[in-house]
A and B are shown apart, each in its own frame.
Chain A
């Protein structure tokens, strides 16, 4: 208590002063007078009495200082004085201050922004209760689409039965559906979850309740939990939504609660529902079909269990499964299950890119710190005289060091403050990048921890900068001063440090530029890959009219549901046809087609296919092409080339012979070296039983060229098209080709669609060019960010080289003057300075190219169409750096050659 009270009094005392000093003076004066009066009373002469009183006081000034120290916080006063002095010194060299602060701000800003992203996406603990004990299980196999094939109910059941180290396993199927409101319909992503999902995930409701085991199974009411984001965005955070009924794909669900904000896997989710709305999930096929895999698995470690235990248990169960069901787990497809901490699974896609950006930002920081160090060193040399004077006046080395520290601290803190401003802007850009990689992008913010990171960076930098400056040893001042010296530091040592820093700057810039070059070439290569389409000037509008997500209600004949579905399908097709006709009437429109999927986007529906009269070679994985439908106009309207046979015609209708068109990839896979036209194919597999799609034979009438459906860098997928009129439509995408400016048609098209289908959600009105650009947006962002870091680095490094050489020239003015008066001409002097810079440049380049060689291997995974050690990029970058470096040397070299020997010699 007494210490707290005393501390408070002292803190308060630190901010008072003048009044207290006056009081103290008066108090001590009173003391003196009383003592003087006492002496006089005892018979001393007044003068002598006063003198004696003063003598016994022990010195008023000393006492005043002692009281001041007791009153406030003496160290704080000292720091304040140092900072005040530092601020004054910096004000006197505004150019130096500005350059240093801006350089630091760029480095600190970049690092702060990237750190805030890395922290949110990779480092921060999950918001889930004990989120570090959550595990994500992933089953994969070789072949296309095999990276994540999910789990089937029998698999989950067996895992659950034999893994005591897992405290709970939640099942979860990403799904989507059309949510119908009063005015409009929107497509939302819904997770179908088991009742234990939220318990296992460790998430709590912020409103209402979450699903529980009693929501599992059939015959229970359909319920829906809203995610926090969707609740805020769509319902404006209105708590009245709880208990309300909503329509999702023709099912009626009760909204039971809102779950706390959390990242969703594998992507953003709008809502979570129990499985009763999806008859698939309750059907015998789903429950019994071992290869009917639709479920993601998330598990929570039991108390005391470790990830290793869980992994070995899972491995044991999985090995047994593969032994017992050899027909399901084709050994050639290398089925495997990975056990991944959930946090790592969420950060998986982002890790490499973020580490790349973090490294790039760190490099920029190194370069800017090196520059600031050089500037500080040079300024230090110019200030040596001042430091000697200060030392002569009694400042010890410690005191001088503290002064330097105060100055550097002021500089780095100013830099950090400005850097935070830059970071605020940078974070906005980075969030849009992170959203493509991580469901945790919403957690990115510049909070206390990030601020702490920035401050730490600033303080550490200030410390480093203060201690590289050379100060003489304690006690050696006198000799220096006696000798009348103006320079005290060993010049050679300092110059070596400066030169080393320049070399480092060049080297690091080269590495950054190389990364930027490789990523830029990746982007260029990607956009140069042919999409396979004849044109990109095609407008697409996705209008899903059919609710494929629904299903037969419990206990009824699935065939009755198929009838309903096909009836709806027929109605939808009538409306698509109306849309097609009306849009054809818009001015400038050449052709309008309709099909199940957007060009270049592909379809997520895939089934197994078999060719008549041939069986797959043993060990070959099944062929699972994309299931797509297309109207006769679809191919020419979207620019998909028919390379063999014919397109669909208006006679390929429901009653006619079943025909299909395959793409080149599928043709090559099923009929290598043969003419596929006239051959027959059929959909097959157990999943088919659950759809109204018939397994009858279909004749191939045409072959299309391959298109880049999975993205510009993906290998082409197999595709099988059926006539839009002949098969379940599975979706409706209008593709519109016009003679000019297709994007300008968007509003007219939207108006027609709105009128004909007021309740349908319109997904996206995009041109194929936009879709293509979107597919390389990730790589473009990478290239742009690293390139801007690279350019930043080069500019800072160029300033650094020029600065160090200019300093060297100014230090050598005398020498150069002598050389010139002895006959050296201007060219010779220029060459001398250029050579001085050139040596540094060459060493830096050599180190940088070596570093880039290793860095290239690290970012291999982010490259496309360019080797990590691409010689063209390497040569180009080295030449560019050399050119910029030489240009930076030229400025001081020119200045050196203009030195007038007559003037310098006299100086």
Chain B
């Protein structure tokens, strides 16, 4: 079995927001599945990581939850983005890109002096 990465602090919220942005309202299982697939199974989300993160986003007002029927006719809690959440996603995405550019510039292979 390959080593699974732990989710980096602070990045999980962004992944959840992005997932809900792309797929629309989704239950916890769907979010976890999607994140694991997107990471090509390099990430593994257990409940103890996933559900506190969802609750935190809900408390901050970025996502909201409601009970609905799931695809296999079971009651499940579906999460969806709020307006504030959409704004937060845009903001965090921008920041993330900036950080990534910056780090990439630093880590770029050194050019040989002519």
Contacts and interface: CB of A to CB of B under 8 A. Distances in A.
- Most A Cβ at <10 Å: residue of B47, B52, B56, B70: B47
Contacts of B84: 2
- Chain B contact residues: helix, strand, loop or mixed: helix
Nearest to B74: A30
A34 B72 contact: yes
B48 A27 contact: no
A62 interface: yes
A31 B76 CA distance: 8
B60 A67 contact: no
A35 interface: yes
Contacts of B48: 58-59, 62-63, 65-66
A10 interface: yes
Nearest to A27: B77
B55 A71 contact: yes
Interface residues of B, number: 28
Interface string B1-38: 00000000000000000000000000111001100000
A190 B50 CA distance: 78
Interface string B71-114: 01011110000001000100000000000000000000000000
A5 B46 CA distance: 27
Interface string A577-603: 000000000000000000000000000
Contacts of A9: 58-60
Nearest to B72: A37
B85 to A, nearest CB: 10
B49 interface: yes
B56 A60 contact: no
A6 to B, nearest CB: 4
A60 B47 contact: yes
Contacts of A34: 27, 29, 70, 72, 74, 76
A594 B77 CA distance: 98
B52 A66 contact: yes
B61 A5 contact: yes
A35 B29 CA distance: 7
Contact of B59 (A6, A24, A56): A6
A69 interface: yes
A30 B71 CA distance: 11
Nearest to B36: A56
B60 A66 contact: no
A753 B59 CA distance: 81
A686 interface: no
B77 A23 contact: yes
A31 B50 CA distance: 11
A28 interface: yes
Interface string B56-69: 10111110000000
A35 B30 CA distance: 9
Given A63-B51, A67-B51, A27 B74 contact: no
A339 B25 CA distance: 79
A158 interface: no
Nearest to B61: A5
Contacts of B70: 30, 34
A309 interface: no
B56 to A, nearest CB: 6
Nearest to B44: A56
Contacts of B58: 9
B51 to A, nearest CB: 5
A58 B46 contact: yes
A26 B75 contact: yes
Interface in A1-45: 2, 5-6, 9-10, 13, 23-24, 26-28, 30-31, 33-35, 37-38
A155 B59 CA distance: 74
Contacts of A10: 59
A63 B50 CA distance: 9
Nearest to A29: B74
A850 interface: no
B52 A67 contact: yes
B56 A57 contact: no
Contact of B29 (A13, A30, A69): A30
B60 A2 contact: yes
A70 interface: yes
A9 B55 CA distance: 10
Nearest to A2: B60
B27 A2 contact: no
Nearest to A70: B52
A28 B47 contact: yes
Contact of A63 (B27, B33, B47): B47
A5 B82 CA distance: 14
Nearest to B62: A2
Q: Which of A27, A37, A60 has the most CB of B within 10 A?
A: A27
Nearest to A3: B60
Given A56-B46, A59-B46, A63-B46, A27 B51 contact: yes
A464 to B, nearest CB: 39
Contacts of A60: 47
Interface string A57-83: 111101101110111000000000000
Contact of A33 (B59, B74, B77): B74
A37 to B, nearest CB: 6
A69 B46 contact: no
A57 B46 contact: yes
Most buried by A among B29, B60, B61, B74: B29
Contacts of A26: 75, 77
A31 B47 CA distance: 9
Nearest to A58: B46
Nearest to A24: B51
Nearest to A33: B74
Contacts of B47: 28, 31, 57-60, 62-63
A9 B62 CA distance: 13
A14 to B, nearest CB: 12
Contacts of B33: 38
Given A58-B49, A63-B46, 18 more contacts: A5-B61, A9-B58, A24-B51, A30-B76, A31-B47, A33-B74, A34-B29, A34-B72, A38-B33, A56-B46, A59-B48, A63-B47, A63-B48, A66-B51, A69-B52, A70-B52, A70-B55, A70-B59
Q: Which 5 A-B pairs have the closest CB atoms?
A: A58-B46, A63-B47, A9-B59, A63-B48, A70-B52
15 contacts: A5-B60, A6-B61, A24-B51, A30-B70, A30-B77, A31-B29, A34-B72, A37-B72, A38-B33, A57-B46, A57-B47, A58-B48, A66-B49, A67-B52, A70-B55
